Chains A and B, each alone.
Chain A
Amino acid sequence: MMCSAGERPDPYDAEDGGVPPAAFASLLEDSVEELYENAPCGYLSTLMDGTVAKINATLLTWLGLRREDVVGRMRFSDLLSVGGKLYHETHFAPLLRMQGEISGIALEMRQAGGGRISVLVSSVVKRGTTGEPLLIRTTVFDASDRRAYEEELLRGRRVADEARRQAEADRARLQQALAVLQQSLLPDTLPPIPGVEAATHYHTASSDQVGGDFYDVFPVDGKRFGFFLGDVCGKGPEAAAVTSLTRYTLRAAAVHDPDPVAALTTLNKVLHQRYTGSGDPRFCTAVFGTLEPDAATGRVGVHLGSGGHPPALVVRADGTVDPLHTPGGLLVGVLPTARFVTTTAVLAPGDTLVLHTDGLTEARTGSDRTSLFGEDALRDFLAAHAGRSPGDLIGALITLLDGFGDGLDDDTALLALGVPADRTTPDAR
């Protein structure tokens, strides 16, 4: 058809220097056979059992084989590398059988000299008039360059996979180290306090970060017990260093003088001296207090001071919630001298003192996660759980924290110190 268009004007037969007719004719393929033999791809026809029936010169040249050694003597799979053979038997041949054609499969063919040539193979089953399969026609493209490029990609992928595995292992190790560090900033166990039940919880927002919240409960002298809870600004290793310094400063200060103002003043001095002028000012908020159980009455006296921290809350057995305000208490560590204010309270049986960090009240709630949980909601929540033991109260708060889901993105420390309800007096609810 392509040579018979005699009547139409030849598009190249233009006056302005087009290709002359003779040259144009030579560009046309006038021999289908010649095209078959010397096409820039390999052609191969096999019987259904794979025996080669016809093969073109291009493919013979690529493989370094003679026609008489191949046709009728070799099967298609004989031309493949062993890996290619296995792939052919397990994937290529079954697919070809099932769908009648297959395209773009990467295989390796063996060359007579022992070399390999990477090829892309497509095959189609030719069927007779009644649909019975007659033979398999296969085209073979030289894919050496493409394969080299793909091998680079695969190599790159392997390197990336290895790097990812390494990164995951590193991350796991880091998280392990951080978890140990975090644990070291919190007490392992709480000391038993006569007539007082204590419960705590620490919520870690991210296993990749050491949080900056802290708490502790410890004996001071024969009668009194110290406690504190606070929040260092920032996160990460720097914050952890401040947390560590803060915790041990408060513990040491309490040995010297357990008065809340004295302990907080000492901490203020230490933090200010350590970090002022470092170019990286660090400070914290903290509640520090002492408990003094009275065995005679079963009541517990609370004396506490605060530096910039949300007020501790006394959850009364009757359902009222009293915030222990300490007006004027400054952030600890900001100024060279700071004034701290103390307050007192008495816990009766069934009352519980609850301290928290602002991770709890600043949890984002609502469907769009834009409103904050807030102090008022916390008070309502605690009021609804009045009369519960500190352990139960902390349990309820943990459920509350879990309910925040991804709205809770900060670390949260909780400490509850309560006097067990006196079961002999019915009015203790």
Chain B
Amino acid sequence: MIAFILNNQDISTNLPTGQTVLDFVRYRQNLKGTKIGCREGDCGACTILVGELVGDEVKYRTMTSCLMPLANAAGKHIVTVEGINPEDGSLTPVQQAMVDENGTQCGFCTVGFVMSLTGFCIDDTAKTPEMAVSSIDGNICRCTGYKSIERAAKSVCRQLAVGGKQFVPKRFDKIGARLEALRVGPGQTRTANRRPVVGGGTDVYVQRPDELVDTDATHVFYDDALRGIRDTGDFIEIGASATVTDLLESPIMQSAFPDLYKHLKLVSSTPIRNMATLAGNFVNASPIGDMTVWFLALDTEIELSEPSASAGGQLRTLKLRDFYLGYKQLAKEPDEIITAVRFRKPGSEFYFNFEKVCKRTYLDIATVNTAISLHVETTPGEGWMPPVLSEPGAVAKGKLSKLDHFITNAHVSAGGVAPVPLYLKETSSFLIGRRINGETIEKANKIIQAEISPISDVRGTEVYKRLLLRQLFRAHFVEMFATELTEIAES
């Protein structure tokens, strides 16, 4: 039995937990405002709001209902456009802005934009024009060319600054208490040995929706034991069900990764980031998984346990890079699930960069992605012998620069260039002990090229992927040591 609030209505249903919220609202509840565009989270026409009780506040996030299992609605406030439409037939400020700025043409994608912008109005993000546009980065419109919608988003932003507007119905104030009444125990609980295991659903519902909709799977998205991001002193530890948005909003992650927003903006879209879990990305084992590539470069360790481990089962840990045995082949027993992810907290003189190129810069799957983390120091530590290096020609002159630095630790990863998300082992160990200069970068590229084995497919040819990774590897250094290294990336 799944119980939740749909708009203003209490729902309890015995339908299979794997049925999508989209089909439920459209075909079981006749709420036709939520549209079907692609059923794979790529168009945003089915965007809804999902309210979760956090403490005594309800936190709303946008999600694509096509990829969301009913199980993940349990105990939540599910809001479709019918749930925000003013009853007197008038319009909310978001709807009015879309009308005023001519942000709707055929109307099919419109509700998705309305829901995304409404989510922006009531969530915790900074109310800047940039973030307003970011909130609709998962919505595709084929008619308008977006400029009118952008104007609507900016108008909404101005109205937020003025204040006093009712973006959602007044009754939302009472939802918290109603969700409190629905709360049964600590979030989702894992059911032993029921497969498949579904987190946010953003990958499995793209790959095998027909199979999942009739299934009662093990749902771990709202499993409290698998959530949260913690600083344990030496390590940063992340719950397996943490979403990309959780990472983005985490002060711990923000302080460790100053470019966090810039990098994660390259990863899918707002509603998908709200749903996609870290472990889901790892287990999906896509050779181009963005988060997998990111965490491979942090020398990440994962913790695995049996589903019943919350009751004290076996735990084991292994390096993320040892998790991938071959295409979609994992070093994992069928009954094991990832429970936590941890990596060593970055020290001083830590550099990190993430690069990704696809056909479309945002909201796309990478052709090639790559991440790198470096620790550098100016003078080698005691007892440490630098390798003999010929002096490169392109060292910057003048005061001490990063070019004089030695790399003391390095981890490099790349996606889209092998059957698995690839930890570049040889490249990483080559970099240790080298100076940061053009020669190191070009020599490392030769090692990279030997380590990778890309294939031609819809995302690009083999020769392009090789070239692209070389360029992105150069881009890492341009990004990390921008001023010093203008000379390194000559063609």
Do chains A and B interact in one complex? no
